[in-house]
Structure 1
Amino acid sequence: MKTTRPADIFLRFLQLAEAVRGLPSLPDLDPLEERILMLVARAGQEHQRLSVRDMMARHELGAPATVHTRLKSMREKGWIKLSDTEDSRRKQVELTPAALQHFDRLSQCMLKATKSAG
């Protein structure tokens, strides 16, 4: 009986996730947009509010203008939405239902990869 290494499970997950990316869904993101998406997703998971201003202040993402351009692109691609807050000048960055569905599909890939390892 062949033993499954953790690396085998991860590689199987990557293979399944690549198949999900091939399905018709949201447009692809560039690497910076992927990082931004993960920040927005983690903030949402932790029930933290994340505004456009908060994102632009994150130096690790680059210049504020670059971050603003990427947020605009991600919004046009359907990955994020900007919601009103108590202060009409501040917009909260959130995942769209389509982005949440994308994460649901990736989660299913992860579960399938771990089950096929057993």
Structure 2
Amino acid sequence: MKLIRPADIYLRFLQLTEAIRGLPSLPELDPLEERILTIVARAQQDKLRLSVRSMMGKHELGAPATVHARLKSMREKGWIMLTDTEDSRRKQIELTQAALLHFDRLSHCMLRATEGGE
């Protein structure tokens, strides 16, 4: 029986994710948009409310105008949506169904990578 190293699993995962990039799906994200997507996804998973204002206040993401532009871009690409809150001036950021499907596909790739088979 061949010993499978953790690096082998990770590299197989990367290979499988490249294959799903060829499937019809959402437009690609730039690196900052990827970071924002991760923050939104983790907040949603933890059942936390994440507003546009709070996202723009995250200094590690850059200037508020840059973050706002990326949120607009991600919305136009179909990755996130903005929903109303009790205060109509504040919008909550949520993943779209298409973004959730993307994470489902990535999870499937992760599981397949650990199996070691096609």
1:69-97 C-alpha deviation (Å, 9 max, x unpaired): 00000000000000000000000000000
Mind listing any 5+ residue stretches in structure 2 that lack a counterpart? none
In structure 1, the residue matched to 2:34 is 34
In structure 1, the residue matched to 2:70 is 70
Q: Offset at 1:22?
A: 1.4
Q: 3-state SS of the aligned residue for 1:92?
A: strand
Does residue 1:54 correspond to 2:54, yes or no?
yes
Does residue 1:3 correspond to 2:33, yes or no?
no
Mind listing any 5+ residue stretches in structure 1 that lack a counterpart? none
Q: Offset at 1:2?
A: 1.8
In structure 2, the residue matched to 1:113 is 113
Q: Offset at 1:21?
A: 1.1
Q: Offset at 1:66?
A: 0.2
1:36-61 C-alpha deviation (Å, 9 max, x unpaired): 00000000000000000000000000
Aligned equivalents of 1:44, 1:82: Cα separation in 2? 13
In the TM superposition, structure 1's runs of 4+ consecutive aligned residues that sit over 2 Å from their partners are: none
Aligned equivalents of 2:51, 2:100: Cα separation in 1? 18
Aligned equivalents of 2:53, 2:96: Cα separation in 1? 19
Matched residue type, 1:58? K
In structure 1, the residue matched to 2:99 is 99
Matched residue type, 1:17? T
Q: Offset at 1:116?
A: 1.4
In structure 2, the residue matched to 1:82 is 82
Q: How many residue pairs align between the two structures?
A: 117
Does residue 1:15 correspond to 2:11, yes or no?
no
Matched residue type, 1:114? T
Aligned equivalents of 2:19, 2:70: Cα separation in 1? 25
